[in-house]
Structure 1
């Protein structure tokens, strides 16, 4: 495993993070979920990402049980707050009330007394940004949170947060968690430059485009049984735009030859590709089977030459989404 600093902060994270969106508490049984976490640990992964909204809180609980007994100081545990976690009007958003309640609930479910990184899961247009940043700052001062980050924020939102934090002497965000992969590159034109100027690193999710970049969805064929393309609970609605594009699926099949030349599987190539971006601190992978974890982590430390990167761009062509207006991806409630 290789390691990188999270943005310009002093926190070091594993190049590959393990995330449990979709899988834990919903798609796979707990025994399988725990096996995947232990496989990640065995492969040197130290960074684990979850959120209070995943599986209605069950994902945090499963992750907490899976990590029980591990040396806490050797792990980086991340969670998020924003999406509704109850029926009350205050059970959502980035108000002080929801953030304070949210972190207490996440700590309880995870079985830990602090989070290494607490992330604003989306930007809250209904709460003053100063209120949100002050609440996060208080959690840092209390020792319940060590660093703060954001997820799927636009460049202008990141810049506003940094300006307010600097003006008021508050904790600055050190990271952003966007979707990013060979097919979805909308962060490159605005979010990445803003993050580089502000010292934020990207913790990217969906580096293999929910499995599309593995090549297991050939054009003109039904999705394989048991895959995310067939199970609405496990992500079919999140990759529909890819599966409906037959030209894109045809181009993705062409990645198999490029991956073979590099001595990689298609999944490893996809994960390694996002890690070539110097603003990426870590790539989040998920899994329903331990062997998927072991395969994906082999992308750590891989360096792709410029010629191969250019051939990937040429192959994918106009199938790549680059429009910065789509920074906040359609997977609204991820």
Structure 2
């Protein structure tokens, strides 16, 4: 188990992404995936109130609703940590104080829980003063509607500003950071956010851990899986540099009897402050490779090899 930042939330070192629930996984498939994850020792589930408003015919909140139905069927969630997010639901856009409170109440209703274990500010809202947003999260924690909160998709400058505000006002501090971070998207996190996360004791929960599926090894050319829901996002990485990363993952994984998927997640877990990478499964058969990361520890030499093959330096302008 891994501790999320300065909280008392101990979680399995892989977070199951709920973005596919109500999208590429219907209710029954979602229940099967959740059952397999929990029965295999998984305890950490991530979603958002906006999942999956991006799908034609959906309104947002579908993922939370499915998770809530599963929790009701299960009878308890005391052994689980459920994370959700605010700012992108069509009915609750932005991070004004009243909006955050209303969105949290709606999420609590869909999830069917008394408190949200971990509540993320999903995307920065530069039209709302950060003081107002930070105060609203503090109020939710004080009211017992949220146990802990985190920050996602904020620049280093805005994250520093948020931390200064909570320090100055005595507000509840964030405990987690959810950045875009994986072997083909390293620089933004490593160069601007990693040091802040370490200094502020923020548990890092990276999303797009598998680069929309590219780091599973199933995209070996731009035409692979063309037309699938996530194919366009993944196949763009099928360049010589990207495929060299996959080849290294395959070779290193073989030494651990682990898949490319598991090995890519293990690289993230080897990084300071990373608590649990987020990865989703649209089919129950995919869950085993996610759970397997708990049993795979890469050697320093293996981590260094993956660091080297995935290093990218922006061109000098």
With structure 1 as the length reference, what TM-score do the two structures score?
0.86
Residue 221 of structure 2 contacts residue 235 of structure 2 at CA under 8 Å; is this kept in 1? Answer: no
Partner of 2:203: 201
Map of 1:140 onto structure 2: 141
Q: What is the CA distance between 1:237 and its match in structure 2?
A: 4.6
Which of 275, 279, 283 aligns to 1:289? It is: 283
CA RMSD for the aligned pairs?
A: 1.9
1:6 to 4, 7, 23: 4
Q: State the 1:6 CA deviation.
A: 0.6
Which residue pairs with 2:56 in the alignment? none
Does structure 2 retain, via aligned residues, the 8 Å contact 1:50–1:78?
A: yes
Give the SS at the match of 1:118: strand
Residue deviations 1:249-277 (CA, integer Å, cap 9, x gap): 35423432221123211001001110001
Residues 311, 78 of structure 1: alpha-carbon distance in 2 compared, 3 angstrom cutoff: same
CA distance, structure 2, for counterparts of residue 237 and residue 123 of structure 1: 26
Matches within 5 A, 1:34-183: 34-55=31-52, 56-68=60-72, 69-86=74-91, 91-183=92-184
Return the alpha-carbon distance in structure 2 between the equivalents of residues 252 and 313 of structure 1.
Answer: 13
Q: CA deviation at 1:301?
A: 4.1
Residue 219 of structure 1 and its aligned partner are, at CA, apart by 2.7
Q: Which deviates more from structure 2 when the two are superposed, residues 271-280 or residues 148-157? A: 148-157
Deviations 1:129-165 (CA, angstroms, capped at 9, x unpaired)? 1111111111111111010111122222221111110
2:274 aligned to which of 273, 276, 280: 280
- In 2, distance between residues paired with 1:70 and 1:46? 15
- 2:266 & 2:241 partners in 1: Cα distance? 24
SS state at 1:74 partner? coil
**Residue among 25, 30, 34 paired with 1:28:** 25
Shift of 1:5: 0.9
Q: Distance in 1 between matches of 2:161 and 2:245?
A: 39
| Structure 2 CA distance for aligned equivalents of residues 322 and 141 of structure 1 | 44
Distance across 1 between alignment mates of 2:199 and 2:308: 29
CA contact (8 A) 1:285 1:293 kept: no
Q: In the alignment, what sits opposite 1:216? A: 218
Superposed CA deviations along residues 207-241 of structure 1, whole A, max 9, x for unmatched, are: 22111111111136x223xxxx522xx33453354
With the length of structure 2 as denominator, give the TM-score of the two structures: 0.91
Q: Displacement, 1:313?
A: 2.9
1:249 aligned to 227, 232, 243, which one? 243
Equivalent pairs counted in the alignment come to: 306
Please give the alpha-carbon distance, in whole angstroms, between the structure 2 residues aligned to 1:274 and 1:322: 21
Cα gap change, 1:199/1:315 in structure 2, threshold over 3 Å: closer, same or farther?
closer
Deviations 1:159-183 (A, max 9, x none): 1111110111111111111121111
How far apart are the structure 2 equivalents of 1:46 and 1:124?
30
* Alpha-carbon distance in structure 1 between the residues aligned to 2:157 and 2:203: 16
**Which ranges in structure 1 are unaligned for 5 or more consecutive residues?**
324-334
* Higher alpha-carbon deviation: 63-72 or 185-194: 63-72
Contact 1:121–1:151 (Cα < 8 Å) also in 2:
yes
Whether the 8 Å contact between 1:181 and 1:274 is mirrored in structure 2 is yes
3-state secondary structure, aligned to 1:282:
coil
For the 8 Å contact 1:155–1:195, the answer to whether it is kept is: no
Structure 1 residues 97-106 or 181-190, which shifts more? 181-190
